[in-house]
Structure formats: structure tokens, C-alpha cells
Structure 1
Amino acid sequence: MELSEVIRRRRMVRNYDPDRPVPAELVDKLLGYAVHAPSAGFSQGWEFLVLTSPEDRALFWSVTTPEDALPSGWLEGMGRAPVIIVPHSHRDAYLDRYAEPDKGWTDRDEARWPVPYWHIDTGMASLLVLLGAVDEGLGACFFGIPPSRTEAYRSAFEVPDAYTPIGAVTLGYRAGDKKSPSLKRGRRTSETVTHRGRWSTRTDL
């Protein structure tokens, strides 16, 4: 599939066919795409937890769903995904990398960073998984883990404190689902988000 078509077709899929497992080699292929994402200083501060067994997936939903959450079609459809990939950022990989001689920030001061690139780079790696899924005929959805459930998630899957889950990706073969109500907002065009030369200069003005 052409890249332009992959980008055009990409959307968040929230319902999956539970009777069509995703081959392990296909999951590995998508993770192979992920490690080609850009990263500051080639730090590559990302790690991925892959959950495929029914037990692990059930545990994931159990520990990440708030206790007061109401039953929903969203959760039911997402719960059918045969694969969950949890991308984690690793801040220390970046602080260590930029304390090396060719970078020279020997104090490892996090304040030197204008934004947390460890999160940004891991997000870019996650996007490559989403795009790769489209190219392979799969559906995928990136979503957040509620802050109140992060520690329960860490404990359940023995995730070290140095690694931060930036979200999670469900993966599988798409089943029929309803369009998100958010789509009624419409997609902003490039003209409405582009400023040229000065912020006040926008191409649609």
C-alpha cells in the first residue's frame, strides 16, 4: 500500500474480531517498524510490553479500568483485541546519553530538555506501529492508561519505576464499530493550522 493511502486510512479502531488472532510474526514486524522511529541522540529510550494471552489481556483491563467505570461499548469492543502493546519511555536513557562525551551534559539535569523527548520519541515509535497496522490490514487504537491506575498496572506486570507507560495500543482485525462522536468536530485542514513567517499569518486568512 502506498504511504499516502496508509495515512489516509489510518483511524482508531475500537472493536475487533476475537476469532482472528494476529500472527506473532506480524506483531514482531510492527515492532520492527517501531524501532526505526527517530530519537534524540539516537537514545532509543523505548520498551514495549506485548500482551497476547487471554489471561494477560484480562489482567490488563482489570488493573487499568477505574473501579467506578460504567460498562460501555468502547470497553467491550476494545477488550476483544487479541494483542495489547504497551509502549514505555525511559527517561534515564536520554539523561545518560547526553552525559556522554559527544554531548557533554555531565550533570544529567532534566531541566536542560525543553520538552520530555523520551515521551515524544516513544510516541513516534507508537505511530509507526499504528501506520504499519494499516499497511498489514489490521486495526489499531492508541489510548491512555488512567493516572490513577498506573501503579496497579506497574505492579501487575512488574514494570520497573524507570519506565513510564505513555499509553497502550490495541491490535487486531477490525470488526464493525460505530464512528466516534468526536469525528463530528471535523478534521482541521492544513491551511487552518499553518502559520507562515509569523504566528498571525495563516494561509486561510
Structure 2
Amino acid sequence: MEFRDVVRRRRMVRRFGPDPVAPEVVDRLLETAVRAPSAGFTQGWSFLVLTSDAEREQFWAATTPTDSPRDMSAWLDGMRRAPVLIVALASRDAYVGRYAEPDKGWTDRDEARWPVPYWHVDVGMASLLMLQTAVDEGLGACFFGISADRIETFRAAFGVPAEWAPTGVVAVGHPEAGGAQGSPARRRRKPMADVVHRGRW
């Protein structure tokens, strides 16, 4: 598929069909993800891949909020059908450690030197590459986060070390019509004139 078509066809899919995703396709998603840029070539990312029924059920049990200000039942009904969940995690320690090395020289390891948490930025870029690869493979995917109050439950369920923080989760599968409608169904895409500033704001 042409890259332009991949970009234009990418959508957050929220409902998946019953067919599995071939293991070699999952491998291609991950092989593409690690081609993302990373500050200092730190590559401070890890990916927890959940493909069995038991693994995915454990994930949803650990991460589904017990209370929500809005009805999440339609979203959960569609998302729980995804045959592949890839939790993308970032290591702050990897980045502050990398930038304390001689070629970078921030030996104090002070997080305040970072204008934004690039560990999560880089993992976000890796996640986008997975979303695009899913489209190229004829699949659907959705990126979503783990609720802050469920992160420790998630860590405990899967033995995730404290160093690693989940940036988000990529759900992958064969798209099925009738999923929960996302924000693009209710909001228009901003025109370029509203978001692009050339030479001066």
C-alpha cells in the first residue's frame, strides 16, 4: 500500500472480528515499532505482547476501571474482541542514564533538563508506526491508555518492573463494523489554516 494511503486510511478501530492475527504479522508490527526515532538512540521502550485468551482477559480484569463517569460498555464490548494487545512501555531511567553518558554529559541525571518526557514521546512514535503497519497489513488498530488508578494493578498482574511505565496500548485485529463511534464522528478535522503558522504565529 502507498504510504499516503496508509496515512489516510488509518483510523482508531474500536470493534474487532473473531479472526486471529497471524504471529508473523505481530512480529512485523514490532519490527516496525523499533524503527521509530529515539532521543540519543536510547531505545528506552519495551512491548508486552498479549495474544492468548487468558492473557487478554487478565489484562482487561486488571485495567478496567470499577467506576467511570461515562458509560464505557459499548467501547469495552468492541475492544475486548481484539485478538492482540501490545502494551507499549517507556523507561525514564534509560533516558536520564543515556544522557549522563560522556557523549551527552548531563551527569546529574536531573529530569528537569527535559522540556517534555521524551521517553513517552518516543514510545508514542513507536506506537504510531504499529498503527500504520496494521493498516498496511489490512488490519485495524486502536491506541488507548491505561487509567492512572489501574497502573499498579496492571504492573502486579504482569510482573512489570517499576522502571517501566505504560505509555499506552495498541489493540490489533480485523476490523468489524458497528464499533463505538470516536470523537471524529462528533468533531471536524481542523483546517490547515488553523494549525499551520509559517514564519510567525
TM-score (norm 2): 0.95
Aligned to 2:2: 2
**Deviation string, structure 1 residues 41-83 (Cα, Å, up to 9, x no partner):** 0000100000001001001111101112556111011000000
Equivalent residue letter for 1:154: R
Contact 2:62 2:153 in 1 (8 A): yes
Contact 2:6 2:136 in 1 (8 A): yes
Aligned to 1:27: 26
Residue 119 of structure 2 corresponds to residue 118 of structure 1? yes
- Shift of residue 185, structure 1, vs aligned partner: 0.9
Query: How is 1:53-202 mapped onto 2 (pairs within 5 angstroms)?
Result: 53-69=52-68, 70=71, 72-178=73-179, 180=181, 182-183=183-184, 184-199=186-201
**Deviation string, structure 1 residues 96-136 (Cα, Å, up to 9, x no partner):** 11111111111111111111000000000000000000000
- Shift of residue 181, structure 1, vs aligned partner: 5.0
Consecutive unaligned residues in structure 1, runs of 5 or more: 200-205
Aligned to 1:202: none
Aligned to 1:41: 40
Equivalent residue letter for 1:9: R
Partner Cα separation in structure 1 for residue 181 and residue 72 of structure 2: 17
Partner Cα separation in structure 2 for residue 178 and residue 80 of structure 1: 11
Equivalences, count: 198
SS at match of 2:86: strand
Runs of 4+, deviation exceeding 6 Å: none
Consecutive unaligned residues in structure 2, runs of 5 or more: none
Aligned to 2:14: 14
- Shift of residue 23, structure 1, vs aligned partner: 0.6
Structure number with greater CO (CA < 8 Å, separation at least 6) is: 2
Equivalent residue letter for 1:13: V
Contact 2:10 2:135 in 1 (8 A): yes
RMSD: 1.2
Partner Cα separation in structure 2 for residue 181 and residue 173 of structure 1: 18
SS at match of 1:185: coil
**Deviation string, structure 1 residues 161-193 (Cα, Å, up to 9, x no partner):** 000001111100111124625222111122210
Contact 2:85 2:171 in 1 (8 A): yes
Equivalent residue letter for 2:103: D
Contact 2:75 2:179 in 1 (8 A): no
Contact 2:14 2:180 in 1 (8 A): no
